[in-house]
Amino acid sequence: MGKTKEITGKVLYGLLFAAVIPIILILWAKYTKNIVTLPLPDNLLLGYILLITGAIFICSGLWNLWRSDNGVAFPPKKFVKNGIYAFTRHPIYSGAVLISFGLSAVTRSASGFWLVSPIFTLLLVAYVAGFENEKTQSVFGTQDYKPFLSLPSASSILPSFSDRISSYFLVFVPWLIIYKAFIFIGAPRDAISTNLPFEEHLPIWEFSGVFYSFAFLFSLSVPLVIKTRKQLRCFITDIWFTIIIVGIIYLVFPMVVKQKDFIPHSFLGRLILFERSLDGESGALPSCHVIWAFLAAKYFSRSFIRLKWIWYALAALISVSCITTSAHSLLDVAAGFCTFIIIIYRQQIWNYIRLLAERFSNNWREWRIGPIRIINYSFYGGAAGFTGALLAGFFLGRQYNLVGFLILIFVIIGAGLWAQIIEESPKLLRPYSYYGGLTGGIIACIMAHFIFSIDFFILLASFAMAAPWIQAIGRLQCLGQGSCHGKPANENIGIRFIHPNSRVKKISDLSGVPLHPTQLYSIGTNIITGLVLIRLFNIGVSSSFIVGIYLILNGTGWFVEESFRCEPQTPSWAGMKIYQLIAVLNILFGIIFTAIPNRAILVFRPNLLSLILAIGMGILVTIASGVDFPGSDRRFARLTTNFFN
């Protein structure tokens, strides 16, 4: 019986990744082909190279797994380190991504290349970070395993030749892919110029082209001059954070620079024009030249301390050359330098935010008015309700404001009922659940569609535009009451909940232990999601597409976030937390919504009635989330049991 179950598991696992997921991706690309119309690379050779390379990765990975396990399953019986796994930690997933991009390029599928493949990559990263890493760790423990494509150790010894070569793959390849992708797409239709009026009259200094061009050599030399593995490790992580920050900025803020035309009078002038032919006006703010120049100066200064002023002077000259060659505007350069400052001081910035959140989480206040208790964190719930009602009302317009208000009532009811039914914690007499609110909202939107003849997708999209900001603000309430808290974490990452009324103490018994600040993780992912949706709204995509992207991004963020949580009342099923499984369904529904043909477009219509109803909703949510009767034994009368008092 056990052997049969094992074989069945392996077969299902293989079918999932070999058949089900590829079919979903192909159908997704097919049914969104009229939505994504971005340009594709003309050279089909690139597509075939990606296809062949991806196939080699997958076949090699499967062969290594088969030899070690007499079959393919997750997790395997033995930890595999040899073969292709000595090159990269996840060859099968890497190969799948390469095949996805390659097949999209060969079949001329813009949707497959620019929508399906990038999101597929994001989902694989989320799966590894949110489930597979933890599962592998629980089965095999910590492994002394360092493939070629991995970070160097944090030691003070000299980097090996392999370490230096690996850093080029880990740093420059992903940077080039992300940056060139935005350059290839070109200036979007909602582009915003970063040029200031006076810059139109600035001259082009051809001789400064030598400094602009030197930035490439300066940056490429960094891995060769670094003297310790720890510094090389820091350099790689610096660039990874840079890629994430710059990639998000390029995605949500479509900034372009208008480069002045000129007639070259020297070799350097012709060099400037040649570099322009390889570059473009998009991907302008922040200036990558500035970021790379100052990061290079940072690491050259560590290797050649006495020449520190020369390296930073060189970085400054490269930055000035961005303006004098008309490659960038003053705002681009300033933003590039600010990004550099954020990168090098990110740990200090994180510590400030983390400690602020810790103080915030232990700032419980309550006021008694007769039998009524008002808890301070309720105001953040009220702020979330106000924001959601206001934004949704502005998108629905004055005509349907009241309908939007009623839908939010269903959201509150659904959130409360879900938490009562699913979590069933005896110490939480009035808890609220996001997915319960989502379910209640969808049911209400369906009812409103049939009763009031309102476009269903307009309803959903209006609340999708508001949802990330509702959740981001609502997480402040979670911090205040200690809900949605994380697992024990490193002191440099975690926050401590020590207030005696915090759920962390009363339910989880983790008071004073550094915990992953999952509330902050959620705030960050929701802000990014909200900005992406605003960008989609600005370029006029359909309402169904906005809903789909929201569900995909929200589900992806939730899946990873849930892996860091540690709430005992959350049930699990089939090895995953129930909310991770729901997040997967969230993503699948999101894929379906993006493929639904729909021409309904959102319109932003501020109005006074929305403001009035939003104030009312804010008051209502404040009462629901932080006002109770602690002396009463009636169900829903108290936010907590007497155990809290």
Together in a domain, 247 and 197: yes
Counting Cβ atoms within 10 Å, is residue 262 exposed (0-12), middle (13-18) or buried (19+)?
middle
Q: Which two tokens stand for residue 187?
A: 């200036």
Please report whether residue 59 resides in a domain. Answer: yes
Amino acid symbol at 262: F
What does the pLDDT average to over 281-300? 92
Residue 9 confidence (pLDDT) above 90: no
Same-domain check for residues 135 and 171 = no
pLDDT in tens, 562-602: 888 876 666 666 677 888 888 999 999 999 999 998 888 99
Asked if residue 177 and residue 46 are part of one domain, the reply reads no
Q: Which has the minimum average pLDDT: 215-224, 354-363, 366-375, 539-548?
A: 366-375
User: Would 13 be classed as within a structural domain?
Assistant: yes
Question: Hey, what amino acid is at 252?
Answer: V
- Which tens digits make up the pLDDT trace of 463-477? 999 999 999 998 888
Structural domain harbouring 100: 2-140
Note the pLDDT tens digit of each residue in 485-525. 888 888 889 899 888 877 787 777 788 889 999 999 999 99
In the chain, % of residues over pLDDT 90: 46
> What is the pLDDT of the chain when averaged over all its residues?
86
- How far apart, in whole angstroms, are the C-alpha atoms of residue 637 and residue 643? 15
pLDDT surpassing 70 at residue 641: no
Q: Is 553 exposed, middle or buried (0-12, 13-18, 19+ CB in 10 A)?
A: buried
Q: Is there a domain that residue 58 lies in?
A: yes
Domain for residue 115, yes or no?
Answer: yes
Domain membership flag for residue 279: yes
Number of structural domains in the chain: 3
Helices (H), 373-489: 378-396, 401-418, 434-452, 456-481
Retrieve residue 628's tokens. 């109770």
CB atoms within 10 A of CB 176: 10
In the chain the first and final C-alpha atoms are separated, in Å, by 52
Q: CA 436, CA 419: separation in Å to the nearest integer?
A: 7
pLDDT band at 139 (very low <50, low <70, confident <90, very high): confident
66-75, 180-189, 430-439 — most confident range:
180-189
Return the pLDDT at 458. Answer: 93
The set of residues, in sequence order, having a beta carbon less than 8 Å from that of 365 and lying 6+ positions away, is 375, 376
Give the residue-averaged pLDDT of 19-31.
Answer: 90
Q: Is residue 637 part of a domain?
A: yes
Quote the crossing angle between the two packed helices 543-563 and 117-127, to the nearest 10°: 20
- Cα torsion angle, 33, 39, 41, 44, sign: positive
* One domain, residues 194 and 112: no
Question: C-alpha 237: how far from its chain's center?
Answer: 17
- Do 486 and 429 lie in one domain? The reply is yes
- Average pLDDT for 337-366: 92
- Report residue 29 as tokens: 């690309």
Provide mean pLDDT across the span 80-93. 88
Q: Is residue 368 part of a domain?
A: no
- 563 or 626: which leads in pLDDT: 563
Tell me: do 237 and 108 sit in the same domain: no
Is residue 569 one of the residues assigned to a domain? yes
Q: What burial class does residue 294 get, using C-beta atoms within 10 Å of its C-beta: 0-12 exposed, 13-18 middle, 19+ buried? A: buried
